[in-house]
Amino acid sequence: MRYAVIGTGAIGGFYGAKLQRSGVEVHFLLHKDYTHVQRHGLKIYSKDGDFCLPAVHAHASPATIPVCDVVLIALKTTQNNLLKDLLPPWVADQGILLTLQNGLGIEPQLAQLVESDRVILGGLCFICSHRGDPGTIHHQDYGSLTIGAYGDGYQPQGVTPLLETMARHWRQAGVETFLAPDLGYARWKKLLWNVPFNGLSVVLSATTTEMMATPPTRALARDLMEEVQRAAASQGVAIPTADLEQMLHSTATMAPYVTSMKRDYDRNLPLELEAILGYPLAVARGKGVALPRMTMLHQLLQHLDRQNRRHGSGTPAAPG
């Protein structure tokens, strides 16, 4: 099977490099790091052991990518407007799109961009990683992947043979892989973390450890989680309260972490507000559920995002 990676950053670069190291043919679409990676390949500094890929299939444009069986989508969701020009026609008939993106509403968005015979899978990356110098990625912690698919009407589909096949590939690549019989539950559970900690890390300019160290902030993180839980319930997804407790506990005990949203903010990049807050709020509102804290967090972040991009230069809104 031939893979492509759209968006060779902290996520796409890391997971794509793991695949290539295990012998899979991987094509990487790059933007500003293209020349560097074309010459020098990729370098992964990982808590599981550093490794180099001195030669990779680097592409500056989708036009040079051969037809691929699996396409990993690892752009920031704020760049998804670019996908209509990046995806067709080189995704194989009955090919697989595996999005590694955060948030909610991604799969419906992809479904509008490709032929109906393409298979859309959702991948959730539980990883702390970030980009370094051109062509380098730093993998600090975790690194698992959870894959699932929606059934008709975005209902739970269970674990299919295709998901089992995908899991084998990833496990061969040394990636701890889980299969989600209910992708909606998996996505909402991930929001349970992303909403409070990505959001508050920007508003408070704080690491996870700093947030968990202050009692009012810890209480607020929990309050926000309860709203995510209510939003999920409005979509028929039940998140047990034990999930909240476990997540608060693991966040309190993990190494200090600068969230991906905070890193984007510090680089004056657009924040993934729609996927993390806007879309979840909209679907809950559609069911008549009011979520004052999540709404307030969204409002605060919209303000900060605007001011931040006005003040900073940002890097161009393009992949890689």
Q: Indicate the residue among 53 and 271 with the shorter CB distance to a second copy.
A: 271
Task: Characterize the bridge pairing of strands 119-131 and 136-148.
Answer: antiparallel
Please give the helix or strand (H or E) that residue 139 lies within, else none. Answer: strand 136-148
Q: Cα angle at 10 between 7 and 11, to 5 degrees?
A: 65
Q: How far is CA 23 from CA 2, 38, 56, 95, 240, in A?
A: 11, 19, 12, 20, 40
Applying the rule CB under 8 A, the residues between 217 and 246 that interact with a second copy are 217, 219-220, 223
Q: How far is the CB of 205 from a second copy (least distance, A)?
A: 8
Applying the rule CB under 8 A, the residues between 168 and 187 that interact with a second copy are none
Q: Which residues does the annotation mark as catalytic? A: 190
Contact between 303 and a second copy per CB under 8 A: yes
Interface size with a second copy, residues (CB under 8 A):
25
CB burial of residue 207 (10 Å; 0-12, 13-18, 19+) = middle
Do residues 147 and 98 touch, judged by C-beta distance below 8 A? Answer: yes
Applying the rule CB under 8 A, the residues between 281 and 300 that interact with a second copy are 292-293, 295-300
Distance separating alpha carbons of residues 297 and 295, to the nearest angstrom: 5
Q: Indicate the residue among 177 and 259 with the shorter CB distance to a second copy.
A: 259
Contact between 73 and a second copy per CB under 8 A: no
Q: Indicate the residue among 125 and 206 with the shorter CB distance to a second copy.
A: 206
Distance of CA 258 to the CA centre of its chain: 15
Contact between 214 and a second copy per CB under 8 A: yes
Q: Indicate the residue among 41 and 278 with the shorter CB distance to a second copy.
A: 278
Contact between 268 and a second copy per CB under 8 A: no
Short-list 126, 152, 124, CA closest to 141: 126
Distance separating alpha carbons of residues 48 and 242, to the nearest angstrom: 30
Q: How far is the CB of 198 from a second copy (least distance, A)?
A: 15
Q: How far is the CB of 270 from a second copy (least distance, A)?
A: 15
Q: How far is the CB of 234 from a second copy (least distance, A)?
A: 17
Residues contributing to the site for a second copy (CB under 8 A): 200, 203-204, 206, 210-211, 214, 216-217, 219-220, 223, 292-293, 295-300, 302-304, 306-307
